Chains A and B, each alone.
Chain A
Amino acid sequence: MTGSNKQRPKYERGAGIAARTLRSELAVCLWFPQFALHCELQRHHDFAARPTAVLAAEDARRLWQVSPIARRAGVKPSMTVSQAVGLCPSLSLWEADPVHYDEQFSNLLVVLSDVSPVIEPAELGRVYIGVDGMEQLHGSPQQQVDIIQQIVATWRQTGGGQEMPASSVRLGWGRGKFTAWVAATRAKPGAVVIISDEERADFTASQPVALLQMDPDIHRRLWQLGIRQLSDLARLPELAVVSQFGKTGHRLWSLAAGEIVNPVVGREMPEPIVATIDFPNPVADHGILAHALDRLIERALRHPRRAGWRILEVQARAQQENSASWMITAILKDPTAHRDHIAEPLKVRLGHTPPTRPVETLTVEFTMFVRGTDELQLFARDANSSARAGRRCALRTALREIRARYRHSGLYQIVEVQPRSRLLERRYALIDYDP
């Protein structure tokens, strides 16, 4: 299915920035539509059969992702809460929790890295997997995507997307990210579309131009010019398109004509980060060692190589008197870049299996990483959303403590329902607050 490499197209400009080994021309696009909604359904199992929606992260008065049941009631993304509740009074709403979605998505990326080192997240719920050379390892493209589907199934079973229906994942296989993405959009839920090199030109030619990511104004102009399919665009002289739309026009025409292949570009994992402290006098006191762990983790977190990555595995080791050594390792259930969350499991282990002799040198090493929230570009790009995420994190911790004590939080949030209604009781409503 992969076909021959004759007439191999040139690479898109700028694609060769990454190391050669972390670039792949053949791509699988794994697309998980409505990822955020599925994350919420995973947390709230009993809502699966009810109309639900997730509110927009940047404007909590509008809907972002809407469940199929809610869609059947006429609810659509971008609607205001009041419009949606008017159409579907039983609609259940969740405020967006971008940090949680990013964590879930990061965990998916981690398991996918078992298939291929070339992983490129595109947006929340969409990731490209480079599969160059996988023919020799796993066989045909169908066998390759079977492996990926198995990996995703394992991720779901181990808690990542436990309640996410397998049928919601779509896969596309093709040469270049664009072909793989278009193939994934054409796949039925839970299915895969494989586009061989021989089929690629015909397949892309028959697709609508709307699949090209472009400015709405350009899309409108193309529509007015009667250009509906990629073949219509490719049939135009390249120079004419460039003269009309400039650099963007060149990119659009090249993609439509299959002149360029945009490869999957992976990112190398950072080298382990090490922080060490030498004690002038050997230390045996548990409190001092725990304090030193905190300081070392802080120092390692400040390392420039750590930026954009969260810690998955951390190791603490010590050189003891008489050359004896000591080591503990912790794999974090939730990868984090927060000092206390990293230190906690280490301190527990330090309490259970402390060094047998006074410590002369203590070292903390971050050994495994996952991509950080700031890499997933949907959210947390600006200071405001980061601050919101931080506040939500603090609230979540406080709520956990309240629930542990009183069994329920008793916290509610006020939302506008029909703020202009003449009936006072219809203007605002309370909803359970569970960040």
Chain B
Amino acid sequence: MTHDRLQPLNLPQPVQVQLDSKGLPLSISPHAFVSFHHSADSERQREMRASENKLRPVAAVIEVWRVDDEWWRQPISRRYVEVVLEGGRHVVLYEDLNTGDWYIQRI
């Protein structure tokens, strides 16, 4: 087995998030799912993708937590929110507290 280089898995993908008054996600934008699909999709997969490309409301917020790390080099400060989307899909979103950008990751 050769490792040219390690390629990190589950890299965060940028996502647009609509927030409620408490700062919790109400819905996430369609392109959040693009990276989870392969290019060689079948017709049915394309249909499924089109349906997923609609705005995805958040059905429930499971957990919220904060991570502050690596203050000694490039500080990392994130507010994570684990949510269930309508349809039952679990995802983890986080807000980069240094930039205000939102990202999505799988669990």
Contact = CB atoms under 8 A, between A and B. Distances in A.
Contacts of A430: 6-9
Interface in A418-434: 422-434
B1 A95 contact: yes
Contact of B67 (A92, A94, A422, A435): A422
Q: How large is the interface on A (under 10, 10 to 19, 20 to 34, 35 or more residues)?
A: 20 to 34
Interface string A178-215: 00000000000000000000000000000000000000
A347 to B, nearest CB: 32
Nearest to A429: B6
A17 B63 CA distance: 71
B98 interface: no
A429 B8 CA distance: 4
Interface string A384-423: 0000000000000000000000000000111101000011
Contacts of B64: none
B9 A429 contact: yes
B5 interface: yes
B9 A423 contact: no
A414 to B, nearest CB: 7
Interface of A is mostly: mixed
B10 A432 contact: no
Given A85-B6, A430-B6, A431-B6, A425 B11 contact: yes
A425 B8 contact: yes
A429 B1 contact: no
Contacts of B92: 424
A93 interface: yes
Contact of A415 (B4, B6, B76, B106): B6
A420 to B, nearest CB: 13
B2 interface: yes
Nearest to B7: A430
Contacts of A92: 2-5
Given A422-B69, A424-B92, A424-B105, A432 B1 contact: yes
Interface of A: 44, 85, 90, 92-95, 97, 412-415, 417, 422-435
Interface of B: 1-12, 67, 69, 76, 78, 92, 105-107
Given A427-B9, A428-B10, A429-B9, 18 more contacts: A90-B5, A92-B4, A94-B1, A94-B2, A422-B67, A424-B105, A424-B106, A427-B10, A428-B8, A428-B9, A429-B6, A429-B7, A430-B8, A430-B9, A431-B2, A432-B1, A432-B2, A432-B4
